[in-house]
Amino acid sequence: MLNSSDPLVRIKELKKYYRVGDERIEALRGIDLEIPQGEFISIVGTSGSGKSTLLNIMSGLERPTKGEVVIAGARLQKVKERRLSDFRRENIGFIFQSYNLLVQLTALENTVLPLIFRGVGKKDREKRGREILEIVGLSDRMYNKPNQMSGGQQQRVSIARALINRPKIIFADEPTGNLDSKTTEEILELLITTARAHHSTLVMVTHDPAVAKRADRSIHLQDGMIIREERYHHEENR
Amino acid sequence: MSKLDILLMAWQNLLRRKVRTFLTVLGVLIGTTSIVVMISLGIGLKESITQNMAQWGSLNQITINSFVQFDEEGKPIGEAKALNDNAVEELRSLSGVLAVSPGYEIGGEASWGRRQGYISLVGLDPSQMRQFEFETTRGRLLESEDRFNIVLGGMVGYNFRDPSKPMEPHDEIPWEDRHLDEHNPTIAMVDERITLNVRNNTGRERKFSFNVIGMIDPLKMDRSWNAYAPIEEVKDIRTFIQGNTAKNNRARTDNGYVQGPSSDDYNFIWVQSENIERTKDLSKEIRDMGYQAYSMADNLEGIEETSRIIQAILGGIGAITLFVAAIGIINTMIMSIYERTREIGVMKVIGATFSDIRILFLTEAGLIGLAGGFAGLGLSYLLSFVVNKVTANMFGPGMGAEFAISMIPPWLALFALVFSFFIGLLAGLYPANRAVKISPIEAIRTS
């Protein structure tokens, strides 16, 4: 079982190789990382630095080649492929750069989609969906489809969707990459406050140093290795 | 994921591409319609032939004659076993036999009031009449205690005419309308007396009078020209006719038949079987026992065989159409999965299981099949109705009111729905498995 003092994420000597033709690409070349519960960590790196691969492995979308990944007490290597979707549903929330909402569903339906897969009844899940859409400031957009909303609004829906299962950890892959600077600030603010309010750990991949500095800690990846780690103190977030 | 949510989501997905979904459903519709209509034609064909045959004689009845038939060279075919009470008992002991009645058949001049005519009189066991599917439209059937009562075939009245008049009113009636109540003179004979005048071979004449107590449906072609009386009465008349020469054995008649061994033997024995299937076997069994047995159902074998072949060919044509429709479903589903790769990836990332994805796509394919099935069945009923109307007009009312060349029995309707649904599911298997195999990372990466 997970003690409150244990880190939520523990990664040891993580390596990930891809084989492309005869060539071996070393995406991750030995990562050691621990993330305590409730921390907001940003992963910074250029394209090809391995940051997306690291995120994919932490979220169980990809298997490590070597090393150990323990998340919320579960050794991901040991979890069967079929159980991984259950694992994600129970523990993880996702936020993508391109929102990835289902175009045919309303904001409310998109928000409660994880609960639909969980088999939660319509009444219960919509009640929870409304509450959370209110938190992200979209109570007047609940029945809008994605194409009737701005990028910022869509990202709010996707934050609501990520939060609805009360996940232990939220992975955000360039969540502000498609947004203008004003909206970026709003979304970041929302992401940080809601994650804190839900006691969720937040792992955010970004290439924007200004965004990365909003985290408690920032790790810099280059050629599949952690090359630098920085800690920031934000009085206003505490 | 709850069943209702899957159904709703599948339904929404189908509505996203209305034209494509419609066209795919149209394919299934055409396939289902062609299968149903083709099979319905096969069924209708067989039914109308069977109905037609039933007009000419009950399909449950086997007639055993006392005659020996001869081939072209005049040699007897087989041996005619004697039709006596032993034979009746033997036949009664066969399985699937509901009733057995021996019978005599005689003919003679008769009078009804002032009218004269000819009557072909059949004597049979009066207690068995009901068992042999006799039904009266007027009066009642013979019962076991009846004496000198008689039941007439529905057309017998047309045999009688008043010699003092040049024409009877019924002479004007066209043949196809003669069975109708408003024209039929037989109806007037019920509850009246008719008298049979017979002369034996010594020249003596005698009259036998009967009360007409009932009349049989004129549309029963094999029975409408005969009159039916209790066997004992007919036997007495027969004995009188045969007179002193009655004991002549094996008198050869003009029409190539020879009477059975004894003149006391019955002319025929009827056997009523429990159903058509049994009739065919029973008829053959009785022939194998050495009797000259014949049944309308004997002809059914060939008709059924033919209609099976017709149904197989017609159904085959329909099946090909439905097969093409199934390919249409596969195509549509694969297209849909290509378009929705990203969506499938997202669903997997946020917690959809393999089986959620598989069931979702199978449901979509199944719904296409089922929708096509329902629509196709509707169209089939419409086509069937039109075809029946058109053919009924073409062949006219002579074929009877219930004549239908296309029949969709409930089992066929149910079969069409279930089958089209399963075709949909089957066509969805491969696309659904492709959807399951989509890697979420790949799916999300494509932007």
- Give per-residue pLDDT as tens, A66-111: 999 999 888 888 888 878 888 888 899 999 888 899 988 999 999 9
| Closest chain B residue by Cα to residue A161 | B350
Q: What is the mean pLDDT of residues B68-72?
A: 64
User: Mean pLDDT of all residues in chain B?
Assistant: 84
Per-residue pLDDT tens digits for A161-197? 999 988 999 999 989 888 898 999 999 999 999 998 8
Mean pLDDT is highest, among A78-82, A133-137, B160-164, B441-445, for A133-137
Instruction: Report helix angle B341-349 to B354-395, nearest 10.
Output: 130
Name the residue ranges covered by the structural domains of chain A.
Answer: 37-61+80-237
Per-residue pLDDT tens digits for A126-149? 999 999 999 999 999 999 999 999
pLDDT band, residue A28 (cuts 50/70/90): very high
Residue-level pLDDT at B252: 44
Which residues 338-397 of B are in CB contact (within 8 Å) with A? 342-343, 346-354, 356
* pLDDT tops 90 at residue B243: no
Contact assignment for A82 to B343 by CB distance below 8 Å? no
Q: What percent of chain A has pLDDT over 70?
A: 96
pLDDT band, residue B254 (cuts 50/70/90): very low
Q: Testing the interface with A: which of B342, B350, B439 to mutate, by most A Cβ within 10 A?
A: B350
Beta bridge partners of B138: B215
| Shortest Cα–Cα distance, B355 to chain A (Å) | 9
* pLDDT tops 60 at residue B99: yes
Burial class (CB within 10 angstroms; exposed 0-12, middle 13-18, buried 19+) of B97: middle
Any B CB within 8 A of A166 CB: no
pLDDT band, residue A238 (cuts 50/70/90): very low
Nearest to A42 by CA among A235, A210, A223: A210
Tracing tokens 């400031």 back to the chain, one arrives at A137
Global pTM reads 0.71
Q: Which residues of B touch A89 (CB under 8 A)?
A: 350-351
H helix runs in B396-447, sequence order:
410-437, 440-445
Mean pLDDT is highest, among A60-64, A181-185, B304-308, B358-362, for B358-362
Contact assignment for B347 to A113 by CB distance below 8 Å? yes
* pLDDT tops 80 at residue A1: no
Under 8 Å between Cβ of A202 and A191: yes
Under 8 Å between Cβ of A200 and A169: yes
Name the residue ranges covered by the structural domains of chain B.
Answer: 3-55+303-445, 61-274
Tracing tokens 């929102």 back to the chain, one arrives at A99
Q: Which residues of A touch B347 (CB under 8 A)?
A: 102, 113, 117
Beta bridge partners of B199: B205
Q: What are phi and psi of A35, to 5 degrees?
A: -125, 115
Least confident of B117-121, B163-167, B360-364: B163-167
Fold that domain A37-61+80-237 belongs to in CATH:
Rossmann fold (3.40.50)
* pLDDT tops 60 at residue B362: yes
Any A CB within 8 A of B305 CB: no
Residue-level pLDDT at A205: 92
Any B CB within 8 A of A21 CB: no
Tracing tokens 């069409």 back to the chain, one arrives at B416
* pLDDT tops 70 at residue B248: no
Q: Which residues of B touch A118 (CB under 8 A)?
A: 351
* pLDDT tops 70 at residue B88: yes
How many other CB atoms are there within 10 angstroms of residue B397's CB atom? 11
DSSP-derived secondary structure letter, A193: H
User: Mean pLDDT of all residues in chain A?
Assistant: 89
| Shortest Cα–Cα distance, B370 to chain A (Å) | 23
* pLDDT tops 50 at residue B249: no
Any A CB within 8 A of B308 CB: no
